[in-house]
Chains A and B, each alone.
Chain A
């Protein structure tokens, strides 16, 4: 990809898939699926102190039709499982999923009859996030990881999933 031009403006040229990935990764609108306590950290991430808008993801849409990345923040119960899957199905392609916290990633400390042992049982996940709850830094790290994945085409949406597990980052 290249920036071409001079004083009266510029153009970006490059292969179409690269341009699309560049556009997509820098405007990832989240669908905040806040299911329990992790959602508080997600709100904090969206708020001014951590400010997810620095990475192009400020427009938290509570409508799945307008969002690109679903952040599953919290404990998914079996009662809620079908609803979460339906929300995922309603998102337009290409769509990505961040599983926030150990509950969403594996069921976490809830090993019982009520909780889905990992939302990846029902929804394809691109980035798993460690922590109970993950700090906002970790969620930002997950978002940056997802951006790199979109760049490289390593997502479920591009047919070459390579899920990552992220922590605080170094």
Chain B
């Protein structure tokens, strides 16, 4: 392990070189010391592949794909964030890219990292960001005919009920139990 492990500064130098090659830049590190790189979205897969294939870096494991919503801020609305891990140097890497609301599309990492399939589906389900090239971009957590994206900041906290689920069952939506028996924990015989 130790002969392949490289020092933190060597990793950062290599990352900075790759970031520059993909028109990106190094960002301030996270509080726990994870290097952060920001690249334009059309370059992000290229950068991930370069960080994976570089013999010094070997960020082979795509840990997570997630997103941030900067609703109401004067900037591109969505950040898509990739987390990678290198078994050789036992370090992590965070890669960020951004996309505007009108054109919320990011190239898919699935051709290079098959594990990204479900992760991108979750980001699509929660934020409505589409991944160009994902072969199976369906909802994964919400019902398939749901019409909203729950983790967007303009989505109401208490949720929006999927009317389609009601309609599918012939409008069996029941009236609430108001006017039924009084709530009474001490009495059980309320038939």
Contact = CB atoms under 8 A, between A and B. Distances in A.
Interface of A: 78-79, 81-82, 85, 111-115, 117-118, 120-125, 128, 130, 141, 144-145, 148-149, 151-152, 154, 162-170
Nearest to B139: A79
Nearest to A148: B191
A42 B151 CA distance: 33
B181 A78 contact: no
A121 B173 contact: yes
B32 to A, nearest CB: 29
Nearest to B182: A165
A123 B142 CA distance: 20
Contacts, number: 104
B160 interface: yes
6 contacts: A152-B191, A163-B180, A165-B180, A165-B182, A167-B183, A167-B185
Nearest to A169: B188
Closest 6 CB pairs of A and B: A167-B185, A169-B188, A113-B159, A148-B191, A113-B150, A149-B191
Given A122-B169, A125-B174, A145-B191, A130 B183 contact: yes
A104 B161 CA distance: 16
A96 to B, nearest CB: 12
A52 B117 CA distance: 45
A170 B185 CA distance: 8
Contact of A81 (B141, B143, B180): B143
A70 to B, nearest CB: 14
A152 B189 CA distance: 12
B87 interface: no
A82 B169 contact: yes
Nearest to B165: A81
A27 B158 CA distance: 40
Nearest to A86: B169
Contacts of A165: 177, 180-184, 190
Contacts of B162: 78
Contacts of B177: 120, 125, 128, 163, 165
B172 interface: yes
Interface in B112-168: 141-143, 146, 148, 150, 155, 157-162, 165-166, 168
A78 B174 contact: no
Contact of B180 (A118, A145, A151, A162): A162
B191 A121 contact: no
B188 A170 contact: yes
B168 A82 contact: yes
B55 interface: no
A152 to B, nearest CB: 5
